[in-house]
Amino acid sequence: MLILDEELLRRSGMISGAIEELLPVVHPRGLYAAGRHLVDAGGKRLRPSMLLLAAEAVGGDPAAVVPAAVSIELVHNFTLIHDDIMDNAETRRGRPAVHVKWDEAGAILAGDTLYSKAFEILTASAAQPEEMVASVKMLAKTCAAICEGQWLDMEFERRDEVTEAEYLEMIEKKTGVLYGAAAWMGARLAAAPLEQAEGLERFGRLVGMAFQIQDDVLDLTAPAKVLGKPRGGDLAEGKKTLIMIHALAGGARIEIFGKKNASSEDVEAALAALRASGSIDYARNKAVSLVEEGKRALSVLQESEAKTLLLALADYMISRSY
């Protein structure tokens, strides 16, 4: 895992340096400062790193596709800004949410700017016109799918019952597709055969779904100072995560579900009930199965250091503690 951390840190540095160049804080400075607020807040930059690794795994030059990696990171941050508005979340990555610092209208504009700039920056990648057009189309389709997933997530909060299949569809669209697009674009921009690009897309999409399930687990189990936000937020928001779907189907009583004023003691009591129901372990096991399925999709690639790192990244998705 130490080697993976070092390799991710190196690629994260490439992406951060490119962001300084490709998305400078210019006039009007407030708009671009708001757009950079979360972008500059840190994180491992897993999605853009996956794009770089995918390009390397098919024999491409990662430096040529750094702008595409930046575009993936900007799309991700655009979704975070808008998610926080919809969830009325006050913090993100240990910082005030964008709409808290710049108000809701400013946050909407900042998110929209990141979305627009993502497509402009993508076209700075060194690739053939056919691969570039295909990648622009993939990113556009992915953004629409993310919106569909977010809509489903919001819709689920108003419903009494949600099935596991519905939940998996939602996280595939809300989270999985961006990882899948990152891997596909990295391969396609590097002129990989379609079979390899499709295998990488499947890999990214499935491990991205596992990433989301692990996020749901961490929302309950990680300390607030690690999360950068209060623990148990999904419970208070009434989120129909896989954990809750399994627990409710098994008859567990979670008194604070959907109660926004729950105390930390209430959250700890709910966590104990969820552990006793086996629902947290059930979710973890589902994440493991998705990762294993995703790793099998990489059989289309020849053995390489980049492929080894992709496999290690898949394992990291479900072993991380934040």
pLDDT in tens, the chain (322 residues): 668 999 999 999 999 999 999 999 999 999 999 999 999 997 789 999 999 999 999 999 999 999 999 999 999 999 999 999 998 888 888 899 999 999 999 999 999 999 999 999 999 999 999 999 999 999 999 999 999 999 999 999 888 899 999 999 999 999 999 999 999 999 999 999 999 999 999 999 999 999 999 999 998 887 766 666 667 777 877 788 999 999 989 888 787 777 777 777 888 888 888 888 999 999 999 999 999 999 999 999 999 999 999 999 999 999 987 7
What does the pLDDT read at residue 227?
Answer: 64
What does the pLDDT read at residue 179?
Answer: 98
User: How many CA atoms lie within 13 Å of 245's alpha carbon, on the beta-carbon side?
Assistant: 21
Residue 193: count of CB within 10 angstroms of its CB: 12
- Residues recorded for the chain: 322
Burial environment of residue 259 by CB neighbours within 10 A (0 to 12, 13 to 18, 19 or more): middle
Beta bridge partners of 92: 95
Q: Which pTM does this prediction carry?
A: 0.94
Measured between alpha carbons, how far is residue 227 from residues 201, 219, 221, 223 in Å?
28, 7, 10, 6
What does the pLDDT read at residue 31?
Answer: 98
Alpha carbon distance 25, 94 (integer Å): 22
Tokens of 260: 């926004």
What does the pLDDT read at residue 141?
Answer: 98
What does the pLDDT read at residue 124?
Answer: 97
- Nearest partner of 270 among 198, 207, 221, 315, judged by Cα: 221
What does the pLDDT read at residue 57?
Answer: 98
Structural domain boundaries in the chain: 2-319
Measured between alpha carbons, how far is residue 68 from residues 119, 181, 242, 314 in Å?
9, 11, 32, 21
What does the pLDDT read at residue 228?
Answer: 60
Question: Which residues make Cβ contacts (< 8 Å) with residue 29, sequence separation at least 6?
Answer: none
Asked if 118 and 76 count as a contact pair (C-beta separation under 8 A), the reply is no
What does the pLDDT read at residue 256?
Answer: 72
Q: What is the CA radius of gyration of the chain?
A: 19
Give the H or E element holding residue 140. Answer: helix 129-157
Asked if 211 and 177 count as a contact pair (C-beta separation under 8 A), the reply is no
Alpha carbon distance 48, 56 (integer Å): 13
Alpha carbon distance 269, 226 (integer Å): 20
Tokens of 319: 């072993």
Tokens of 76: 């991700």
The CATH homologous superfamily for domain 2-319 is Farnesyl Diphosphate Synthase (1.10.600.10)
Asked if 219 and 102 count as a contact pair (C-beta separation under 8 A), the reply is no
Alpha carbon distance 312, 322 (integer Å): 17
What does the pLDDT read at residue 306?
Answer: 97
First to last CA, the chain: 15
CA 174, 301, 194, 123 torsion: positive or negative? positive
What does the pLDDT read at residue 66?
Answer: 98
